[in-house]
């Protein structure tokens, strides 16, 4: 019998929790630390790989992703050891994708060739903005010049290069963004992640926003206009949208993120990493201990897991929709029905169709361009 996760595939996420500096908008599990005993970290990652491999023998790995934090601060030898161990423990797909997130600084770009040698096939660079004033405001420690130089090196080393930009920034107008995005597309290789700035609780921006000190953020209408511009400019440049915030030349979509959005199984290794694992017919949500030293100590004791919970089929059906509807390709409603034990509400689909928010073709439910901009409301209606 086929299990649900197989429709999405299997991959591995490695979390490196350290950064040279903490960005004020970032709410990811990242820490600034002077003393990192990298040998100990390497042993911990290898132990965790062994532990998870014992639970999922024979799974074909389609993608590996080094995220963070700033994984481009890792010694290439650590990356090589991790990739070697994964190859030893699991079979891999022929077109295995190995992505590493990189900060576009000079130090990091010096290691690109070694990462390639270790088996990394794709880098994703956190460029974030193409003007120095905004990079400073975003708390980034690199300059535009440095980013461009790092990007040139990346392009000469890797066939596949993606970079991130953050828009709807303070004092940014839709026309500012159109110009900046045009320049970005001139540089782009095969993939772009274009995120609207989100103010999260528990970040420096969140604190400033709460007391009214984060001024000049675009309003809802202006942010929506920037989203529309993004679609227009990227489509014309041959980088159409394939997920809410991701664009690629056709065929160059991130296989790893697509695995999440297609709701496959993935092992999450490293502090705070999340995983989804189907074991003995049950699907588990796993989460590793968040604090770096706590995680290291726990791994020494045998497991870095903070907890594991069984997902009900209802929860799985919900997660499947939450993730899958982000994709332009939409979701296969039969998967929802198999998990939830009932079809997606025809009334909800009908009312959303009337509003032009979704479309249905055979068993595929897709969110329209218009609906994608209000996806949270669309999903809330579908899953009411």
Partner 1 sequence: MTDLAHIRNFSIVAHIDHGKSTLADRLIQSTNTVSEREMKEQLLDAMDIERERGITIKANTVRIEYIAQDGDTYVLNLIDTPGHVDFAYEVSRSMRAVEGSLLVVDSTQGVEAQTLANVYQAIDADHEIVPVLNKIDLPASEPERVKEQIEDVIGIDASEAMLVSAKSGIGIAETLEAIIKRLPAPKGDRNAPLKAMLVDSWYDPYLGVVVLVRIMDGVLKKGDQIKMMQTDAKYQVDRIGVFRPAMQNVTELGPGEIGFLTAQIKQVRDTKVGDTITTEKKGCEKPLPGFKPSIPVVFCGLFPVDSAEFEDLRDAIEKLALNDASFSYEMETSAALGFGFRCGFLGLLHLEVIRDRIEREYDIELITTAPSVIYHVYMRDGSKIDLHNPADMPDMTHVDHIEEPRIKATIMVPDEYLGDVLKLCQDRRGIQMDLTYVGGRAMAVYDLPLNEVVFDFYDRLKSVTKGYASFDYQLEGYREDNLVKMQILVNDEPVDALSMMVHRDRAEMRGRAMCEKLKDLIPRHMFKIPIQAAIGGKVIARETLAALRKDVTAKCYGGDATRKRKLLDKQKAGKKKMRQFGKVDIPQEAFISALKMDN
* Chain contacts with partner 1 (rule: CB under 8 A): 13, 15, 27-28, 65, 67, 195-198, 220-221, 223-224, 227, 244-245, 260, 263, 266, 268, 273-276, 285, 287, 315, 318-319, 322-323, 326, 351-352, 355, 357, 372-381, 383-384
Give 199 or 296: the residue with its C-beta nearer to partner 1.
Answer: 199
The residues with which 305 forms a beta bridge, in sequence order, are 288
Least Å distance, CB 65 to partner 1, is 8
CA distance 134 to 172: 9
Give 103 or 109: the residue with its C-beta nearer to partner 1.
Answer: 103
Give 73 or 352: the residue with its C-beta nearer to partner 1.
Answer: 352
Give 108 or 164: the residue with its C-beta nearer to partner 1.
Answer: 164
Give 156 or 309: the residue with its C-beta nearer to partner 1.
Answer: 309
CA angle (329, 334, 318) in 5-degree steps: 75
Least Å distance, CB 220 to partner 1, is 5
Give 189 or 352: the residue with its C-beta nearer to partner 1.
Answer: 352
Give 109 or 278: the residue with its C-beta nearer to partner 1.
Answer: 278
Least Å distance, CB 352 to partner 1, is 8
Give 103 or 286: the residue with its C-beta nearer to partner 1.
Answer: 286
- CB–CB of 281/25 below 8 Å? no
With both helix axes pointing from N to C terminus, report the angle between 220-236 and 174-187 in degrees, rounded to the nearest 10: 30
Give 116 or 260: the residue with its C-beta nearer to partner 1.
Answer: 260
Least Å distance, CB 89 to partner 1, is 19
Q: Mapped to the 3 state alphabet, what secondary structure does 79-103 carry? A: HHHHHHHHHHHCCEEEEEEEEEEEC
Least Å distance, CB 81 to partner 1, is 22
Least Å distance, CB 167 to partner 1, is 9
Least Å distance, CB 34 to partner 1, is 26
Residue 57 has which token pair? 């023998």
For 8, 114, 155, 317, 339, the CA distances from 313, given in Å and listed in that order, are 16, 43, 43, 6, 5
Least Å distance, CB 157 to partner 1, is 25
Least Å distance, CB 39 to partner 1, is 25
Least Å distance, CB 106 to partner 1, is 26
Give 138 or 323: the residue with its C-beta nearer to partner 1.
Answer: 323
Among candidate residues 163, 173, 180, the one with its CA nearest the CA of residue 226 = 173
């Amino acid at each position: 019998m086929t299990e649900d996760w197989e429709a999405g595939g299997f991959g591995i996420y490695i979390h490196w929790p350290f950064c040279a500096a903490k960005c004020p908008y970032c709410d990811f599990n990242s820490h600034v630390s002077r003393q990192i005993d990298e040998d100990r970290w390497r042993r911990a990652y290898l132990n965790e790989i062994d532990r998870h491999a014992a639970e999922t023998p024979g799974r074909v790995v389609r993608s590996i992703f080094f995220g963070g934090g700033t994984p481009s601060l890792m010694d290439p030898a650590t990356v090589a050891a991790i990739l070697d161990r994964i190859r030893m423990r699991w079979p891999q797909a022929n077109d295995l994708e190995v992505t590493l997130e990189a900060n576009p600084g000079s130090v990091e770009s010096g290691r690109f060739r070694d990462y390639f040698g270790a088996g990394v096939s794709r880098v994703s660079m956190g460029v974030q903005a193409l003007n120095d004033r905004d990079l400073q405001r975003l708390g980034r420690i690199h300059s535009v010049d440095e980013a461009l130089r790092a990007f040139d090196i990346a392009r000469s080393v890797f066939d596949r290069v993606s970079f991130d930009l953050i828009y709807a920034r303070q004092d940014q107008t839709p026309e500012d963004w159109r110009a900046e995005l045009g320049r970005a597309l001139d540089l782009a290789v095969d993939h772009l992640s274009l995120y609207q700035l989100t103010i999260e609780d528990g970040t420096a921006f969140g604190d400033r926003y709460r007391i009214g000190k984060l001024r000049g953020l675009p309003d809802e209408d202006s942010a929506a206009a920037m989203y529309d511009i993004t679609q227009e400019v990227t489509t014309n440049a041959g980088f159409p949208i394939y997920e809410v915030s991701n664009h690629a030349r056709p065929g160059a979509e991130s296989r790893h993120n697509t695995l999440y959005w297609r709701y496959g199984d993935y092992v999450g290794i490293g502090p705070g990493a999340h995983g989804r694992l189907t074991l003995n017919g049950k699907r588990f949500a796993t989460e590793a201990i968040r604090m770096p030293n706590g995680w290291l100590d726990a791994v020494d004791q045998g497991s870095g897991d903070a907890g594991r919970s069984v997902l009900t089929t209802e929860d799985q059906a919900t997660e499947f929709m939450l993730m899958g509807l982000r994709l332009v390709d939409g979701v296969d409603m039969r998967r929802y029905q198999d998990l939830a034990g009932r079809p997606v509400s025809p009334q909800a689909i009908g009312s959303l169709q009337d509003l032009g928010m979704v479309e249905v073709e055979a068993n595929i439910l897709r969110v329209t361009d218009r609906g994608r901009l209000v996806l949270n409301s669309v999903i809330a209606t579908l899953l009411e």
